[in-house]
Amino acid sequence: MKKENQTFTTRFPGRYKIGINKFLVPIKLSLFCWFAGARIVTTFISVYLKYQGLTITHLSTLTAISVCFQFFVSMISGMLIDRTGRVKPILFIHASIFLVTLICFIVMPKIDECVTKKIIFDCVDENISHFMARDSCKIFQEGFYTDTCSLINTGNATNDDEKESCPYISLLQKARVSIEKNHVNETSGFCLYHVNFTNYLNEDIPPCGTTNCKSLQMVCSDSDPTYCYYNRIFWVIIYGILVVLNNTANTNVHKIFDVISADMAKQHNSDFGRQRLWSLLGASTGPSLAGLILDKTVSFGSGKSYVPVFICSIIFSIVSIVPFYKVNPKFHKPTADVCMKSFELMKNLEIFMFCIVVLIAGISFGFKLIYGSLYLQDLGASDMLLGVSRGVAILCALPFFYWSKWFINKIGVSNFFVISLLSYVFYCFAFSLMREPWLATGFELANISAYHLFYVAVIQFCDEIAPVELQATMKALAGSLHFNVANIGAAVIGGFIMNNYGGRMAYKVLGCITLAYAVIYGTYLIMKRLNKKKVAIRLNWDDFETDMCIRQNMAEVKGTIIITKPSCNKELMTEGEK
């Protein structure tokens, strides 16, 4: 087919025109819709889980647990693609799992806190009750459940000492306790709470004057604490399973789309960056649209709910599957011994250093993705700002994507990795010093080189350094390191440092780690370049010596004398023997 018949061309005044390959239109639409839906989830999932009752520690633990699962599934998917040569069925399986988890998030209940209330009961010698407290009538509207009972101001006394000095300790722990609530008056809002021992008569209770426990502290809750505890654990586990499945499916579809886009770009002599441009358009549109919808639903008085966010994501994800049916990637033939060839490839020092670059960049990216929204919310950012701040950076990256191949080749793929690491350094230190959340819109521009163009360079590097039969595996490995394994570091920094020392300190630690490896990798590239120059000089000198020897040999034939090195004849003899 002729090239002009393959392209839709739009002409502008002058000599300017834009051409889009007809065979790449379905993949562009699929990339736009899928990344719009997927980025909505990654932007709002952390704040949604926090709203549902999970803590930062829970989120960090779930992320760390899911990493190993995601890594192995990603590597297995990449090897299956290389081994079978079929990519569509694997993508449809992961996309279906992703959609099921979104539906589950919509119907999942909130996790209730096991709320307790400490009430101080004073011991009084009355016929009605020996213990009485005066507190607000609003607490514990329904029933009471006694968890523990302990003395007030017992110093360093142990539990056994407490039981010996105050017989009510063991009595309250063994006896069945009921608490009656009576209003002091209709206007005060205070009630009198009386403790009754249902298994004992009042006469069997020793008087307060004979004991050393004038005042007791009881910890009560309005629900059965044992049931509440196990119920909470159950729902945390369910949420954990859904988060693991959602993250795994999302990241695998992302990587498979990268494999398909790079393969089709090669088939039709296009640029991978221009295909990824459409995924970034979707990634900027999705969160901004979802943030706007969420902001409007809250302003209309319907209450806080993240259901519209997931519905929006489901619609985009389903629409992305429709044009993908027409995509026909001509993948390479099935390959045997994928595992052995992959292990041999990893022995290369250049690939090893590249994998560390991807890992370090992935830690910064993962931290921003998981905890960035929480950090901005703590600074006072609105839901709309969370979506807009990400979208602005993506829109600004679009022109760079159109000329990404030229831009990266001009700088050099390896050199661009250093620039990306330094961009993350700026981003992390800027966020650590930020006081106003709206400044994040400007700081997000660092992600143009830190993430957007960086990942294009990663895919280009994989195409250049990996053999054809291992390119899907190499891309899956790079994606797994960046989006999965790196999340362990992100979870550790988020779960430990951010939880104990705050988000500012976490961003400073990330900036220091990234800066350290940027220096290491830059030094490696300099040494590699110097070594290449040294080898080139040596080869040029050897060529010069060989040329001089040939000239001497020719001069001797003509009777001309040329002064050369004594080893010239030996070198000529060696060359002749060779």
Tell me which range, 159-173, 219-233, 247-261, is most confidently predicted by mean pLDDT.
247-261
Percent of the chain with pLDDT over 90: 9
Chain segment 9-64, per-residue pLDDT in tens: 666 565 656 666 777 788 888 888 898 898 888 888 888 888 888 877 787 777 77
221 has which bridge partners?
A: 116, 145
pLDDT-based confidence at residue 151 (cuts at 50, 70, 90): very low
- How do residues 375-387 score in pLDDT, each as one tens digit? 888 888 877 777 6
Q: Which domains does the chain have, with CATH numbers?
A: 23-112+232-330 (1.20.1250.20), 116-221 (no CATH), 338-550 (1.20.1250.20)
Sign of CA dihedral 254, 255, 259, 265: positive
pLDDT beyond 70 at 155: no
Distance CA 421, CA 358 (A): 10
Residue 221 DSSP SS3: strand
DSSP 8-state secondary structure symbol assigned to residue 495:
I
Each residue's pLDDT tens digit, 266-312 = 777 777 777 777 887 887 788 888 888 887 776 555 557 888 889 99
Query: What amino acid is encoded at 554 in this protein?
Result: M
* End-to-end Cα distance, the chain: 50
Three-state DSSP at 217 gives strand
pLDDT band at 575 (very low <50, low <70, confident <90, very high): very low
CA distance 341 to 195: 75
pLDDT of residue 417: 92
What length is written for the chain?
578
| pLDDT band, very low/low/confident/very high, at 516 (cuts 50, 70, 90) | very high
Structure confidence at residue 384 (pLDDT): 74
- Residue identified by tokens 């595992």 is 339
Read off the pLDDT band of 339 (50, 70, 90): low
